[in-house]
A and B are shown apart, each in its own frame.
Chain A
Amino acid sequence: MARIAFAWELGGEFGHAMACAALARQLHARGHTIAFMFRELHQLAFLADTSQYDIFQAPVSVSEGHGEPIPASLADILVGCGYDTGRHLTGLLGGWLSLFQRWKPDLVLADFGPTALLAARVLGLRRVSYGNGFSIPPRLSPLPAFRFDEPVAPGRIAQSDARALASANAALARFGGAAMQHLAQQFETDDDFLATFPELDSYGNRPSTGYWGPRFSVDSGVAVQWPEGHGKRVLVYLKKTLPALDTLIAALARGPHRVAAFIPELEPARRARLAGASRIVSERPMRLAPLLAECDLFVSQGGNVAVGALMSGVPQLVFPSQYEQYITARRLEQIGAGIMLPPDAAATGVEGALQRALGDAGFANAAKAFARRYPRYSAPEQQRRIVVRMEEILARPSRWSALPPPGAGPILTPTQGSGASR
Chain B
Amino acid sequence: MARVLCAWEFGGDLGHVRRLLPIARELRARGHSTVFAFRDSAYLHGVLAEGFEAFVAPLLRVPAAVTVSPLNFSDILLNLGFDDPHGLHGALRAWRSMYSLLDPDVVVTDYAPTALLAAATLELPRVTVGTGFSQPRVGEPLPALRTWEPSDPNVLRAIDDRVLNSVRAALAGVSDRVPRSAAGLFDANAHLLCTFAEIDPFGARADVEYVGPQGDATSGVNLDWPPGERARVFAYLKPGDARFAAVLGALGQLDADVIVAAPGLAPEAALGASRGSMRVVASTVNLERVIGAATLCVCHAGPGVVARGLAAGVPFALLPQHLEQYLVAQRVREAGSAELISPDEPPPDFVAWFASLLAREDLKEAARERASALRGYSFAAGTQRVAERIVAVAAG
Given A42-B84, A45-B85, decide whether A61 and B90 contact each other with a Cβ distance below 8 A.
no
Contact in complex: B42, A55 (CB < 8 Å): no
Given A61-B42, A62-B40, A62-B41, decide whether A43 and B90 contact each other with a Cβ distance below 8 A.
yes
Query: Residue A320 at the B interface, CB < 8 A?
Result: no
What is the predominant secondary structure among interface residues of chain B facing chain A?
helix
Query: Residue B238 at the A interface, CB < 8 A?
Result: no
Interface residues of A in 47-62 (CB under 8 A from B): 51, 54-62
Interface residues of A in 298-319 (CB under 8 A from B): none
Least Cβ–Cβ distance between B237 and chain A, in angstroms? 23
Contact in complex: A55, B173 (CB < 8 Å): no
State A116–B101 Cα separation when bound (angstroms). Answer: 19
Given A41-B87, A95-B41, decide whether A54 and B56 contact each other with a Cβ distance below 8 A.
no
Query: Residue B93 at the A interface, CB < 8 A?
Result: yes
Contact in complex: B56, A58 (CB < 8 Å): yes
Residue-by-residue, is B16-58 near A (CB-CB < 8 Å gives 1, otherwise 0)? 0000000000000000000000011111110010000111111
Question: Among B84, B86, B173, which residue has its beta carbon within 8 angstroms of that of A51?
Answer: B173
Interface locus among A85-93, A122-130, A327-335, A368-376: A85-93
Contact in complex: A56, B173 (CB < 8 Å): no
Given A62-B39, A95-B55, A95-B56, decide whether A265 and B44 contact each other with a Cβ distance below 8 A.
no
Contact in complex: A57, B173 (CB < 8 Å): no
Interface residues of A in 121-178 (CB under 8 A from B): 174
State A45–B43 Cα separation when bound (angstroms). Answer: 29
Least Cβ–Cβ distance between B171 and chain A, in angstroms? 12
Contact in complex: A45, B39 (CB < 8 Å): no
Residue-by-residue, is A171-198 near B (CB-CB < 8 Å gives 1, otherwise 0)? 0001000000000000000000000000
- Output the nearest chain A residue to B40 by Cβ-Cβ distance: A62
- Output the nearest chain B residue to A99 by Cβ-Cβ distance: B55
- Output the nearest chain B residue to A104 by Cβ-Cβ distance: B101
Contact in complex: B89, A44 (CB < 8 Å): yes
State A73–B361 Cα separation when bound (angstroms). Answer: 64
Given A54-B97, A56-B97, A95-B54, decide whether A63 and B42 contact each other with a Cβ distance below 8 A.
yes
Least Cβ–Cβ distance between B57 and chain A, in angstroms? 7
Residues of B with C-beta under 8 A to A91: 41-45, 48, 54
Query: Residue A103 at the B interface, CB < 8 A?
Result: yes
How many residues of chain B have a CB within 8 Å of chain A? 32
Chain B CB within 10 Å, residue with most, of A55, A58, A99: A55
Residues of A with C-beta under 8 A to B85: 45
Query: Residue B159 at the A interface, CB < 8 A?
Result: no
Interface residues of A in 379-410 (CB under 8 A from B): none
Question: Among B40, B55, B56, B87, which residue has its beta carbon within 8 angstroms of that of A42?
Answer: B87
Residue-by-residue, is B67-109 near A (CB-CB < 8 Å gives 1, otherwise 0)? 0000000000000000011110111011011101110000000
Query: Residue B61 at the A interface, CB < 8 A?
Result: yes
Given A45-B85, A95-B56, A103-B101, decide whether A59 and B41 contact each other with a Cβ distance below 8 A.
yes
Contact in complex: A61, B97 (CB < 8 Å): no
Contact in complex: B89, A45 (CB < 8 Å): yes
Given A51-B173, A57-B57, A59-B41, decide whether A90 and B90 contact each other with a Cβ distance below 8 A.
no
State A88–B84 Cα separation when bound (angstroms). Answer: 29
Query: Residue A98 at the B interface, CB < 8 A?
Result: yes
Query: Residue A82 at the B interface, CB < 8 A?
Result: yes
User: Which residues of B are at the interface with A, using a C-beta cutoff of 8 A?
Assistant: 39-45, 48, 53-59, 61, 84-87, 89-91, 93-94, 96-98, 100-102, 173
5 CB < 8 A contacts A-B: A42-B86, A42-B90, A91-B48, A95-B54, A99-B55
